[in-house]
């Protein structure tokens, strides 16, 4: 399949999603598929990695090379795959629990490593698949089955975590704003380095606070703010730490950051190896004389 | 004079013990002598007792013995720690100028050489070279040509500049001459003959790293842990020359997942860790197996459980490697039995992983990992390395594995249990891999028939491998003997040496490098009168496996104090057990 005639439906598998009708994950996934097609990728050269959760099922519903891994570890898998074959378009997806709870350590390190992968987090501020417990992005007073009086801890701010770890592309989108979401993911794919797209993908079954209406009414779209400059670190920092508002768009981008493959000279497809020991291997023995 | 010389340097961690020991070991190896080294180190960077022992002979040496002929004691404690091994011809080199040695007297029946190591080192250009002064003294005592030491110093310090090298050579010479001048008569107490043989000197971790590169491994992710870190340190800086890359991951969970990602992308990929790290990797281990990803996981065992004794010897993780992880997971477990075999089994591990598309544990124990041994270089013949990538399919072959809707059957049910493998980027091979139970296309299922079919398919790989591969053991001693000694891992060398102490007791020895799948020992065990299994753990994990396989009770010799078996000790135990 050559990239010119790829359409976004080529990225759709024949498996019907088992997400609840109305789940935000549908929109998030559609945007990802469109973005992949519109940036000239094909299912053959795309590798999608997901963790565990409703969000993690995405690899099943998309048509591409994919790996559905264990809870919280999708980013390391994506990192290994991208380093082993830089020609692959590697996209990692997961939930807020997957990425910011069990996998938060990997998140910080993936950001600072700056490997050229795109990370889309379907943030519904709840654990969906395990049926409605608090997640790290749940509000501190949000009552759930395991937090009857609310978690009583402030939520994690993933954008701030990414910024503090030296993130070079930090964005937020909303699954039901299909156009903007697709655009943002496209920019993330095109960014040379690690890109975070935190996508609000409402859970219609277990979260009655962070709803479509809530996001529609409250999100401020930065592309409509004339004086917002995504390359301005201080401005980005203020927006990210702003406790009163939530933003949509690319909050920060450093186009001059050095992606991992450049910093470390990892540019070859490692799948290709000779039939025997590589040339020069005998020198390895000679070292021990 | 014995030609079989045991030499040691001991002091506190931070005294440069290991590098000094290695300089001498390399000089001996280059002089065409066999060398076997062992390290006694505590889990701290400064303070505590540390020693590096070198046994050398013109004949092959495979273990340590209970005898110390020449000792450089940088601290008084070094002498105390080794009292049992000293004898009346033992030479102890110490620096009486150091306050801690001011009242020191060499133990009765040993020969003490009080040498002002520090001030001689200062004369040569710096106190830091006192260990080198001592090495010069050792050359004098052993009549070992100091030029051979010079070569070693060139190699060790060459990249630090000419003057550093010259100063070190001068330091060695001052030590050498001091003994000649002040201790005439003691000089030449031992005679270390040199030969024209060419040997290489390396340890198990290095052999594993070298094997990985030889096998075409290009991706390594790991998290530092004793005693596996040396594998990562070896690969760093070398694998890049072969188009590979090493990542120091944030933890073991990440390390194995990165290695898995690289393997899915088609690279030959490895991670290495020790017991605690294997615990952390267990969840992903199941994913590796279920997604049928070829991956080599090296476990350099140390003494457990929990943090246990991180710098001490043990073979305690066999059960974990055989049975660890939730659910039932087909895996291979290879356990090389010598440093050279670490190289060969690493190459084999990569081939098996790709041929059978499953995780392969490659395990060395601490002793083997840190022990250096000399070998003929052609033991590591790179021309003999063969690479078998198994059923890795390309674009053209894919159509044979597609269903009617052109979907690639990455988990096709086959007679041998092995499915085709297409890596991302291969056109037409698009599929998903998952840890969920799945159908031939990789799609989640809870269908009872499909579940059973897939479980059987994955397990069938083991049967196929048992038919096609040679999971053999090595045999030595008296092959007709009625007494059978069985061993795995690094004990092999010690047992070979122990045979020399068994006098008129005839034993047949089997050394088994394959833990799973493993050779069938039923016949051997059933026909023997007495069977004893030697292993460095408390419960006899391999002995349990043999009893399970053969339905026969076996005797056990277990050592779990953290210290290596010694040949003479082990011979006594074997005698007692077999004659009881
Ligand atoms: C090691 C481990 N712990 C716990 C679970 C159970 N588990 C499955 S999904 C999930 C939470 C998922 O939440 P999130 O990432 O927010 O995804 P969502 O389902 O909301 O999309 C948990 C805890 C698991 N599968 N593995
Ligand atoms: S439970 Fe929530 S997150 Fe999961 S599919 Fe349903 S709506 Fe989506």
Inform me whether the C-beta atom of residue A54 falls under 8 Å from chain B C-beta atoms: no
Inform me whether the C-beta atom of residue B520 falls under 8 Å from chain A C-beta atoms: no
Cβ of A98 closer than 6 Å to ligand 1, yes or no, is yes
Q: What is the mean pLDDT of residues A215-230?
A: 97
Tokens matching residue B492: 């092999």
Are β-strands B483-487 and B507-511 bridged in parallel, bridged antiparallel, or unpaired?
A: parallel
Cross-chain Cβ contact A269/B425 below 8 Å: yes
Q: Please, what is the average pLDDT of chain A? A: 97
Ligand 2 center to A23 CA (angstroms): 5
Cβ of A254 closer than 6 Å to ligand 1, yes or no, is no
Whether pTM exceeds 0.90: yes
Phi, psi of B472 (to 5 degrees): -105, 175
Ligand 1 center to B199 CA (angstroms): 55
Query: Tokens 């591990």 — which residue?
Result: B349
Tokens matching residue A89: 């378009």
Q: Tell me, what's the pLDDT at B1?
A: 44
Helix intervals (H) in B49-190:
76-81, 117-124, 130-142, 146-157, 162-182
Mention every residue, 6+ apart, whose C-beta is less than 8 A from residue A242. none
CA distances from B428 to A66, B366, B414, B424, B444 (A): 14, 46, 20, 10, 20
Looking at the predicted structure, is the pLDDT value of residue A109 above 90?
A: yes
Tell me, what's the ipTM? 0.98
Chain B residue with minimum CA distance to A43:
B430
Cross-chain Cβ contact B386/A14 below 8 Å: no
Rounded to a whole number, what is the distance in angstroms from the first to the last CA of chain B? Answer: 37
Answer whether B146's CB lies under 8 Å from B136's CB: yes
User: Alpha-carbon Rg of chain B, whole angstroms?
Assistant: 26
Ligand 1 center to B9 CA (angstroms): 54
Cross-chain Cβ contact A14/B405 below 8 Å: yes
Per-residue pLDDT tens, chain B, 580 aa: give them: 457 999 999 999 889 999 999 999 999 999 999 999 998 887 666 678 899 999 999 999 998 888 999 999 999 999 999 999 999 999 999 999 988 888 888 898 899 999 999 999 999 999 999 999 999 999 999 999 999 999 999 999 999 999 999 999 999 999 999 999 999 999 889 999 999 999 999 999 999 999 999 999 999 999 999 999 999 999 999 999 999 999 999 999 999 999 999 999 999 999 999 999 999 999 999 999 999 999 999 999 999 999 999 999 999 999 999 999 999 999 999 999 999 999 999 999 999 999 999 999 999 999 999 999 999 999 999 999 999 999 999 999 999 999 999 999 999 999 999 999 999 999 999 999 999 999 999 999 999 999 999 999 999 999 999 999 999 999 999 999 999 999 999 999 999 999 999 989 999 999 999 999 999 999 999 999 999 999 999 999 999 999 999 999 999 999 999 999 999 899 999 999 998 8
Q: Tell me, what's the pLDDT at B374?
A: 98
Ligand 2 center to B256 CA (angstroms): 30
Q: pLDDT of A119-150, one tens digit each?
A: 999 999 999 999 999 999 999 999 999 999 99
Chain A residue with minimum CA distance to B257:
A77
Inform me whether the C-beta atom of residue A105 falls under 8 Å from chain B C-beta atoms: yes
Query: Tokens 């993936």 — which residue?
Result: A110
Among protein residues, the one with the nearest Cα to ligand 1's atom 9 is A53
Query: Tokens 């591409």 — which residue?
Result: A64
CA A246 to chain centre: 18
Mention every residue, 6+ apart, whose C-beta is less than 8 A from residue B164. B157
Calpha distance B511→B500 (Å, rounded): 17
Ligand 1 center to B433 CA (angstroms): 18
Q: pLDDT of A92-107, one tens digit each?
A: 999 999 999 999 999 9
Cross-chain Cβ contact B251/A105 below 8 Å: yes
Give the full edge-to-edge strand order of the sheet including B432-434: A219-221, A246-253, A169-174, A195-200, A118-123, A89-95, A46-50, A65-68, B432-434
Calpha distance B62→B138 (Å, rounded): 23
Q: Please report the residues numbered 384 through 413 in chain B whose beta carbons come closer than 8 angstroms to any beta carbon of chain A.
A: 385-387, 389, 405
Inform me whether the C-beta atom of residue B258 falls under 8 Å from chain A C-beta atoms: yes
Q: Which residues of A touch B291 (CB under 8 A)?
A: 67
Query: Which one of B154, B379, B381, B432 would you mutate to disrupt binding with A, by most A Cβ within 10 Å of its Cβ?
Result: B432
DSSP code at position B256: H
Q: Which residues of B touch A269 (CB under 8 A)?
A: 266, 425
Cross-chain Cβ contact B265/A270 below 8 Å: yes
Cross-chain Cβ contact A80/B201 below 8 Å: no
Q: Which residues of A touch B210 (CB under 8 A)?
A: 284-285
Ligand 1 center to A52 CA (angstroms): 5
Identify each DSSP E strand in chain A by its residue range: 46-50, 65-68, 89-95, 118-123, 169-174, 195-200, 219-221, 246-253
Q: Is B326 helix (H, G, I), strand (E, B) or coil?
A: coil
Query: Which one of A66, A268, A285, A287 would you mutate to disrupt binding with B, by most B Cβ within 10 Å of its Cβ?
Result: A285
Answer whether A84's CB lies under 8 Å from B261's CB: yes
Q: Tell me, what's the pLDDT at A1?
A: 54
């Amino acid at each position: 399949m050559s990239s010119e005639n790829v359409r976004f439906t080529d990225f759709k598998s024949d498996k019907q999603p088992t997400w609840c009708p109305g789940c935000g994950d549908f929109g998030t996934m559609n945007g990802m598929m469109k973005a992949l097609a519109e940036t000239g990728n094909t299912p053959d050269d795309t590798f999608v990695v997901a963790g565990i959760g409703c969000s993690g099922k995405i690899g099943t519903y998309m048509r591409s090379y994919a790996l559905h891994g264990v809870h919280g570890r999708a980013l390391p898998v994506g990192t290994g795959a991208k380093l082993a074959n830089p020609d692959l378009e590697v996209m990692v997806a997961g939930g807020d629990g997957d990425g910011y709870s069990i996998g938060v350590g990997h998140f910080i390190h993936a950001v600072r490593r700056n490997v050229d992968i795109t990370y889309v987090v379907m943030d519904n501020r709840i654990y969906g698949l395990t049926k409605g417990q608090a997640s790290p992005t749940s509000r501190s007073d949000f009552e759930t089955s395991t937090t009857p009086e609310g978690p009583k801890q402030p939520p994690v701010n993933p954008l701030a975590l990414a910024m503090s770890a030296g993130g070079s592309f930090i964005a937020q989108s909303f699954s039901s704003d299909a156009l903007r979401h697709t655009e943002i993911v496209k920019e993330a794919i095109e960014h040379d380095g690690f890109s975070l797209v935190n996508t609000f993908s409402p859970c219609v079954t277990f979260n009655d606070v962070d709803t479509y209406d809530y996001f529609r009414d409250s999100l401020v779209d930065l592309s409509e703010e004339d004086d917002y400059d995504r390359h301005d670190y201080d401005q980005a920092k203020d927006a990210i730490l702003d406790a009163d508002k939530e933003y949509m768009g690319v909050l920060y981008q450093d186009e001059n950051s050095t992606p991992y493959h450049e910093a470390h000279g990892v540019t070859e497809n490692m799948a290709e190896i000779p039939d025997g020991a590589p040339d020069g291997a005998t020198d390895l023995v000679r070292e021990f004389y | 004079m014995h030609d079989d010389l045991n030499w040691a340097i001991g002091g506190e961690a931070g005294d440069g013990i290991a590098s000094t020991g290695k300089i001498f070991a390399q000089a001996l190896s280059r002089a065409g002598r066999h060398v076997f080294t062992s390290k006694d180190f505590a889990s701290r960077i400064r303070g505590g007792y540390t020693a590096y022992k070198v046994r050398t002979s013109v004949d092959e040496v495979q273990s340590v013995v209970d005898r110390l002929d020449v000792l450089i004691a940088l601290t008084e404690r070094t002498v105390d720690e080794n009292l049992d091994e000293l004898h009346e011809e033992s030479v102890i080199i110490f620096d009486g100028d150091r306050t801690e040695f001011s009242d020191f007297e060499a133990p009765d029946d040993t020969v003490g050489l009080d040498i002002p190591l520090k001030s001689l080192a200062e004369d040569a250009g710096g106190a830091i070279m006192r260990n080198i002064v001592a090495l010069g003294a050792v050359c004098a005592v052993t009549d070992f040509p100091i030029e051979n030491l010079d070569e070693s110093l060139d190699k060790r310090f060459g990249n630090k500049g000419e003057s550093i090298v010259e100063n070190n050579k001068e330091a060695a010479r001052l030590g050498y001459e001091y003994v000649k001048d002040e201790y005439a008569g003691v000089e030449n107490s031992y005679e270390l003959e040199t030969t024209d043989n060419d040997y290489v000197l390396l340890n198990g971790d290095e052999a594993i790293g070298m094997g990985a590169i030889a096998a075409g491994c290009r991706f390594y992710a790991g998290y530092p842990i004793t005693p596996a870190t040396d594998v990562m340190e070896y690969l760093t800086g070398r694998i890049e020359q072969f188009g590979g890359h090493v990542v120091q991951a944030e933890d073991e969970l990440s390390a194995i997942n990165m290695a898995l990602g690289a393997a899915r992308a088609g690279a030959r990929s490895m991670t290495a860790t020790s017991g605690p790290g294997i615990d952390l990797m267990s969840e992903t281990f199941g994913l590796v197996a279920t997604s049928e990803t070829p991956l080599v996981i090296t476990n350099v065992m140390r003494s457990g459980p929990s943090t246990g004794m991180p710098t001490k010897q043990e073979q305690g993780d066999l059960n974990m490697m055989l049975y660890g992880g939730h659910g039932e997971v087909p895996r291979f477990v290879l356990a090389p039995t010598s440093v050279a075999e670490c190289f060969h089994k690493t190459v084999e591990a990569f081939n098996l992983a790709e041929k059978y598309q499953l995780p392969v544990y490659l395990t060395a124990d601490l002793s083997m990992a840190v022990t250096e041994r000399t070998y003929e270089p052609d033991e590591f013949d790179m021309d003999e390395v063969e690479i078998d990538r198994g059923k890795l399919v390309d674009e053209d072959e894919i159509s044979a594995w597609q269903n009617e809707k052109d979907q690639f059957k990455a988990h096709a049910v086959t007679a041998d249990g092995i499915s085709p493998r297409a890596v991302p980027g291969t056109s037409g091979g698009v599929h998903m891999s998952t840890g969920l139970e799945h159908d031939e296309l990789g799609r989640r299922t809870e269908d009872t028939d499909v579940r059973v079919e897939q479980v059987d398919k994955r397990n069938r790989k083991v049967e196929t491998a048992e038919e096609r591969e040679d999971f053999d053991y090595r045999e030595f001693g008296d092959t007709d003997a009625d007494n059978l000694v069985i061993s795995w891992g690094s004990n092999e060398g010690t047992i070979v040496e122990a045979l020399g102490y068994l006098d008129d007791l005839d034993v047949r020895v089997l050394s088994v490098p394959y833990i799973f799948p493993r050779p069938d020992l039923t016949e051997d065990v059933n026909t023997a009168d007495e069977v004893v299994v030697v292993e460095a753990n408390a419960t006899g994990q391999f002995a349990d496996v043999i009893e399970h396989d053969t339905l026969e009770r076996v005797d056990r010799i277990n050592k779990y104090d953290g210290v290596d078996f010694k040949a003479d000790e082990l011979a006594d135990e074997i005698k007692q057990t077999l004659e009881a």
